[in-house]
Structure 1
Amino acid sequence: MTGGKISMVVAPPVIAAIAARAATGTPGVARLEPGVRGLLAVLTRAGRQRWTDADPAPTEGVRVRFTGAGLIVHVDIAVRSKGPAAEVGRAVQEDVAREVDEQTGQPVDAVHVHILDIEPEL
């Protein structure tokens, strides 16, 4: 296409997979927590996999929305008890926003982190 502008939007499941990897790679994060919405997504994904033989990247605990305000990512996590949970949450926000922007070229307008569990250190 010569002289035309090409527009591209990365699909929410791809963004969710990138966000999931970034969140679980953040120090202090024990795991993603699917919660009730995430469990429904797991069931939907499992059904889709059966019909299409696809094996999409795990995204349980991550939700992505495009709104008038831009790209919003919600991440539900469990953290390790070593260190302040709020610091881990802020680090997840930064890591997710950076990775999504770097890998997709789409800036993230907000990352909402919900800490649903604190895992004790053994």
Structure 2
Amino acid sequence: MTTVDTTDDGVDPLAGGAPLFECAVDASVVAAVAVRAATGVPGVVRVEPGLVGLMGSGLRAARQRIRGLVPAPTEGARVEFEHADTVRVEVDVVISGQDQAAAVGRAVQRAVAGAVTEATGLAVTGVGVSIMDIVWDSAPR
């Protein structure tokens, strides 16, 4: 989890230079934003988690359901905070066989980086995209 300063210039002159307020951004929030952005890219059929992602997301989803919350999907995305205000994201996708893999991968990188920065204020230092499968009979979106 990291803390993000949500003020325009980062300081309140009346408070002696202290931030007006801060919010904490958890890796699961960043992952949910990344998954949503990736699934909206034309040519992406779905975001697909690996074995480690399934186990971690299953535990998180169970904890949230116990609390009565509906968890946002985070399966297929991994987040690593590099500093307090920078993050690197990895996304695993399945794409349509009717699209160029490199073009879809670049589009996913742009969409995820933009969405994470817009939603959280974090600077994205990189987005790694792994194409886990190609579905040949899936129509492009």
TM over 0.5: yes
Structure 1 segments unaligned to the other structure (5+ residues): none
Q: Report the Cα offset of residue 110 of structure 1.
A: 0.7
Q: What SS does the corresponding residue of 1:121 show, helix, strand or coil? A: coil
Q: Report the Cα offset of residue 91 of structure 1.
A: 0.5
Aligned positions of 1:52-67 closer than 5 A: 52-67=67-82
* Residue in structure 1 matched with residue 34 of structure 2 by the alignment: 19
Instruction: Report if the CA contact (8 A) 2:86-2:122 is conserved.
Output: no
Aligned AA (2:125): D
Q: Report the Cα offset of residue 38 of structure 1.
A: 1.6
* Residue in structure 1 matched with residue 9 of structure 2 by the alignment: none
Aligned length: 122
Q: What is the alpha-carbon distance in structure 1 between the residues aligned to residue 34 and residue 97 of structure 2?
A: 22
Q: Does 1:80 align with 2:96?
A: yes
Aligned positions of 1:1-122 closer than 5 A: 2-3=14-15, 4-5=18-19, 6-68=21-83, 70-121=86-137
TM-score after normalising by structure 2: 0.78
Structure with greater proportional helix content: 1
What root-mean-square deviation, in Å, do the aligned CA atoms of Structure 1 and Structure 2 show?
Answer: 1.9
TM-score after normalising by structure 1: 0.89
Structure 2 segments unaligned to the other structure (5+ residues): 1-11
Q: What SS does the corresponding residue of 1:83 show, helix, strand or coil? A: coil
% of aligned pairs identical?
Answer: 46
